[in-house]
């Protein structure tokens, strides 16, 4: 049975970040910074509450008679209790022989074009551990993007304004960044497991390293860009945040309304129509929060029973990173034009160059992951390199066709004396040869 290391990592980040945020808020209180104290507590306690509700919802404890569990979650001790329960199940599983097991069938990743179906016995203990891992993975994503991301942005903004950083704030910022990167990593793994649910998936250590580097560069540069822009144009940042948020929040609903599909009723049997609407709104809120800081790796699809689109769309990925790179560049340009005296000793052009290179480095690690380390890359209809080549051909072919047409037009505009010197047969052969070469270029 697999060691529940992901549960331990989620609980460690939850406890460490909450403790660091509470300590930091106490230092703000002693320093007389009431507003910073209130915002720090808000971005710490709000994700704690959402994590408790997520664990209760996944384990369906609202409809079960477990008053002690509900009390522990009310006291914000639910993750610690769940972690203790997980390790009790894990330790007892090797000593107790289970009388009942279930058989699951999974397909192997194709090798040499062949895919075999394998059967695996799953006991009750392993099934419970799977539920716990799934619950903590979702809780980590919620904590990362609805708590840690705004917390990191806030603390970095305070550091930029005060031009000073304390040990408590640096620790809180480090834990917040680590929590966001871990949440993004879990989001990638969740997306892979949902899209390829019928396959037996094994993620290699190098894939984890590549995802970690990809997400670290992407999130760090994004947060720094937002903080720099906020420090000089506080009013305009509200407009930027609202446009980003509502674009991603409304996009799944617009696709759902355009599809004409009926309202989904199979999310949870115990939920009413109002409850289902609340859950869907929360999912789109989380989806928008993720895409504010990084690529979500999944496409939310409300009219799908799984709520996730299982198709791999490289063009949507390409458009997202192109637009995000342009947005970051524009925000940095606005910061450069309106920077204040607090950045007097900062080499602005060098900082902008470093941030743009950092974001390009994140894109490079993403391409390396999808090209070489994705556990299901053999199932892709086309690889990243092939899709990129097709995209370049779609852009370059019209340009080459336009150039060939111009050359044909210049040939037709020659002087009448030059035309008379040319044999009549070459007049009819020259034009098709130009067209043929353009077509060959497009089909190459």
For residue 201, pLDDT over 90 is answered with: no
Residue 187 to residue 298: CA distance in whole angstroms: 8
> What was the pLDDT predicted at 260?
79
Task: Report the chain's mean pLDDT, rounded to a whole number.
Answer: 81
> What was the pLDDT predicted at 411?
52
> What was the pLDDT predicted at 436?
37
Residue 265 to residue 271: CA distance in whole angstroms: 9
- Neighbour tally for 177: CB within 10 Å: 21
Q: Whole-structure pTM over 0.85, yes or no?
A: no
pLDDT band at 97 (very low <50, low <70, confident <90, very high): low
Average pLDDT over every residue of 39-65: 83
The DSSP bridge pattern shows strands 308-309 and 299-300 to be antiparallel
Element housing 102 (H / E): strand 101-107
Average pLDDT over every residue of 180-196: 89
For residue 178, pLDDT over 90 is answered with: yes
Question: Could you tell me which of 271, 253, 348 has the C-alpha nearest to residue 307?
Answer: 253
- Distance from the first to the final alpha carbon of the chain: 51
The DSSP bridge pattern shows strands 299-300 and 117-123 to be unpaired
Tens digit of each residue's pLDDT (9 = 90 or more) over 310-361:
676 778 888 899 999 999 999 999 999 988 888 888 888 999 999 999 999 9
Average pLDDT over every residue of 163-180: 92
pLDDT band at 439 (very low <50, low <70, confident <90, very high): very low
Chain centre distance of CA 389: 24
Sequence-ordered strand ranges (E) for 108-190 = 117-123
Written as six digits, the tokens of 246 are 């509502």
Chain centre distance of CA 208: 14
For residue 44, pLDDT over 80 is answered with: yes
- Contact by Cβ (8 Å): 143, 13: yes
Chain centre distance of CA 58: 22
174 phi/psi in degrees, rounded to 5: -65, -45
Average pLDDT over every residue of 43-55: 89
């Amino acid at each position: 049975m697999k060691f529940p290391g992901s549960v331990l990592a989620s609980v460690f980040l939850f406890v460490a970040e909450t403790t660091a945020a509470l300590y930091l808020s106490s230092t703000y209180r002693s320093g007389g910074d009431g507003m910073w104290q209130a915002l720090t507590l808000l971005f710490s306690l709000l994700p704690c509450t959402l994590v408790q509700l997520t664990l209760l919802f996944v384990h369906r404890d609202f409809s079960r008679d477990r008053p002690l569990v509900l009390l522990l979650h009310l006291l914000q001790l639910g993750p610690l209790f769940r972690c203790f329960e997980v390790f009790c199940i894990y330790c007892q599983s090797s000593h107790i022989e289970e009388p009942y097991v279930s058989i699951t069938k999974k397909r192997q990743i194709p090798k040499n074009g062949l895919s075999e179906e394998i059967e695996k016995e799953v006991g009750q203990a392993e099934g419970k551990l799977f539920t716990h891992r799934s619950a903590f993975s979702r809780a980590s994503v919620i904590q990362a993007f609805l708590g840690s991301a705004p917390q990191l942005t806030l603390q970095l903004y305070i550091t930029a304004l005060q031009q000073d950083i304390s040990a408590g704030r640096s620790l809180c910022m480090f834990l917040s960044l680590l929590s966001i990167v871990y949440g993004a990593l879990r989001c990638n793994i969740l997306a892979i497991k949902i899209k390829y649910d019928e396959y037996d998936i094994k993620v290699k250590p190098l894939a984890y390293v590549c995802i970690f580097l990809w997400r670290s560069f992407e999130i760090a540069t994004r947060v720094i860009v937002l903080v720099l822009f906020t420090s000089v144009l506080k009013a305009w940042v509200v407009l930027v945040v609202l446009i980003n948020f509502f674009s991603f929040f409304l996009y799944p609903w617009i696709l759902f309304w355009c599809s004409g599909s009926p309202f989904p009723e199979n999310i949870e049997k115990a939920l009413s129509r109002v409850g289902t609407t609340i859950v869907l709104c929360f999912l789109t809120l989380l989806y928008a929060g993720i895409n504010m800081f990084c690529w979500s790796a999944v496409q939310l699809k409300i009219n799908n029973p799984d709520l996730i689109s299982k198709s791999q769309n490289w063009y949507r990925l390409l458009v997202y990173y192109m637009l995000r790179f342009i947005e970051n560049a524009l925000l940095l340009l606005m910061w450069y034009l309106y920077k204040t005296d607090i950045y007097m000793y900062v080499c602005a052009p060098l900082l902008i160059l470093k941030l743009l290179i950092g974001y390009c480095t994140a894109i490079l690690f993403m391409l390396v992951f999808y090209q070489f380390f994705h556990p299901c890359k053999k199932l892709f209809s086309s690889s990243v390199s092939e899709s990129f080549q097709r995209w370049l051909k779609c852009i370059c072919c019209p340009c080459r066709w336009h150039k060939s047409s111009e050359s044909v037009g210049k040939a037709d505009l020659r002087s009448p004396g030059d035309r008379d010197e040319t044999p009549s047969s070459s007049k009819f052969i020259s034009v098709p040869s130009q067209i043929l070469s353009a077509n060959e270029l497009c089909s190459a």
